[in-house]
Structure 1
Amino acid sequence: MTVTEFPPLLSEEDLQKYKVPLRWRDRCAAHFALYHLCLKRQSADTSVDCKHDKHAWEECENLDLIRRKQELKEVKEQRRSELQ
């Protein structure tokens, strides 16, 4: 599965419900929550495989990093053009 767009943002109640740490409360928090729910199921039933959920979360984080780098680049270019 290729992540092409970000999942909808979780509400504050959902973030607390799924116990998403502050560090991971970003655009990919929904994938993080699904992955950790899977890990809980896996601890009870070893036949559950969470590789797909982990991959989706990591891919979303990578996509978000690329997006943030692009935004930073655009802001820097805009500031350079304003200074000239």
Structure 2
Amino acid sequence: MSVTEFPPLLSEEDLQKYKVPLRWRDRCAAYFALYHTCLIRQTANSSVDCKHDKHAWEECQNLDFIRRQKELKEAKEKRRAELNES
């Protein structure tokens, strides 16, 4: 599975239900919740494999990082353009 877009944001109730830590409550929280749920299942049944869920979550994190880099670059370019005009 290739992550090409972000999942819908989780509600506050869902974030608490899936015990998503504050540091992971971002655009990829839904993937973290799936991964965390898989890890819980894995402790009960060792035949469960969570590599796919972990990969999807990490890929989403990477996609979000790239998005934030682009936003920062655009903001810097906009600021430079504003400074050059004045």
The structure whose Rg is larger is 2
Q: Show structure 1 runs of 4+ deviating over 3 A.
A: none
Compute the displacement of 1:49 (Å): 0.2
The equivalent of 1:17 in structure 2 is 17
Which string of whole-angstrom CA distances, capped at 9 and with x for unpartnered residues, describes residues 27-56 of structure 1? 000000000000000000000000000000
Task: Give the equivalent residue in structure 2 for 1:55.
Answer: 55
- Find the residue that maps to 2:62 and give its secondary structure: helix
Structure 2: runs of 5+ lacking an equivalent: none
RMSD: 0.3
Structure 1 letter corresponding to 2:23: R
Counterpart of 2:4 in structure 1 is 4
Within 1, Cα distance between the matches of 2:42 and 2:16?
A: 21
Q: Report the CA distance between 1:71 and its aligned residue.
A: 0.2
Q: Which residue of 2 aligns with 1:34?
A: 34
Match of 2:80 in 1: 80
User: SS where residue 15 of structure 1 aligns?
Assistant: helix
Q: Percent identity?
A: 82
Distance 1:44 1:12 in 2: 27
TM-score, with structure 1 as normaliser: 0.99
